[in-house]
Amino acid sequence: MTKLFGVLLLGFSGFFLSVRPVFSGETPAFTESVIIFNTICAKCHEAQCSGRLSFDDAFERSRNHILRHYNQASGKKYLQKELFDILSYMKENCAYYPMHFSVPLNRIWANDLLQKYTTSTDSNYFIPVGNLSSGSYDIELELEKNVKVNVHLISEEFEIVVDDCYKSTDQRIKLPVFIEESGDYYLRLYPKEAVRLARLTIIPSK
């Protein structure tokens, strides 16, 4: 009996391992959860580094809370669990959940690549822009229409370099930034109305 149970258990854990590895950052579903977390949940949970979650049954306890802040996850238990796991990871590691991403060599992101960093239901973006060494840069956003956008540029250590609202002219927003600490950076966008980001360029300024 116990042997059978063991076999069943093994079978099950094998199933979960193959379907959903712990850091399945490369699966589209998980990337989407990371983006949802880092745009929606981040409003309150960014940089929470308090160690483990409060309760052993924290997932069951927090499901309603998660749905209150992200109703689109209703009926999607996997999404609720991923969002929960991302917060656990942030609390324990004091870091953004690892994402699978590539940075274009010329640091010009075209529309198709940028679509990976937004979700189908919101038009917020959370874009890992990769390593920036210290110095001055010009960031340029090209949008599909003129809108106001809240722009954040944050380091992997949660240092905020930019946190401001910009209105585009000729569908462009240009912002000069100065990076003090070399490291990985993330660009977060909250457009005031749904809009697609057509292009992102980051170039060192002269």
Interface residues with ligand HEC (CB under 6 A)?
40-41, 43-45, 53-55, 58, 62, 65-66, 69-70, 83-84, 87
Q: How do the residues of the chain divide into helix, strand and coil, expressed in percent and rounded to 5?
A: 35, 30, 35
Provide CB contacts within 8 A for 107, sequence distance 6+.
Answer: 129, 130, 201, 202, 203
Task: Kindly state the helix (H) or strand (E) to which residue 31 belongs, with its residue range.
Answer: helix 28-36
| For ligand HEC, the closer CB: 59 or 166 | 59
The distance of closest approach from Cβ of residue 117 to ligand HEC in the complex, given in angstroms and rounded to an integer, is 17
| For ligand HEC, the closer CB: 4 or 44 | 44
| For ligand HEC, the closer CB: 44 or 105 | 44
The distance of closest approach from Cβ of residue 7 to ligand HEC in the complex, given in angstroms and rounded to an integer, is 33
The distance of closest approach from Cβ of residue 172 to ligand HEC in the complex, given in angstroms and rounded to an integer, is 30
| For ligand HEC, the closer CB: 45 or 116 | 45
| For ligand HEC, the closer CB: 36 or 173 | 36
Q: Tokens 């609202």 label which residue?
A: 165
Q: Nearest CA to 157 among 176, 135, 179, 173?
A: 179
Determine phi and psi for 104, rounding to 5 degrees: -60, 140
| For ligand HEC, the closer CB: 54 or 74 | 54
The distance of closest approach from Cβ of residue 74 to ligand HEC in the complex, given in angstroms and rounded to an integer, is 11
The distance of closest approach from Cβ of residue 27 to ligand HEC in the complex, given in angstroms and rounded to an integer, is 18
Burial of 13 (0-12, 13-18, 19+ CB in 10 A): exposed
Q: Tokens 């919101």 label which residue?
A: 122
The distance of closest approach from Cβ of residue 114 to ligand HEC in the complex, given in angstroms and rounded to an integer, is 22
Q: How many CB atoms lie within 10 A of CB 192?
A: 12
CA quadruple 87, 91, 92, 97: dihedral sign:
positive
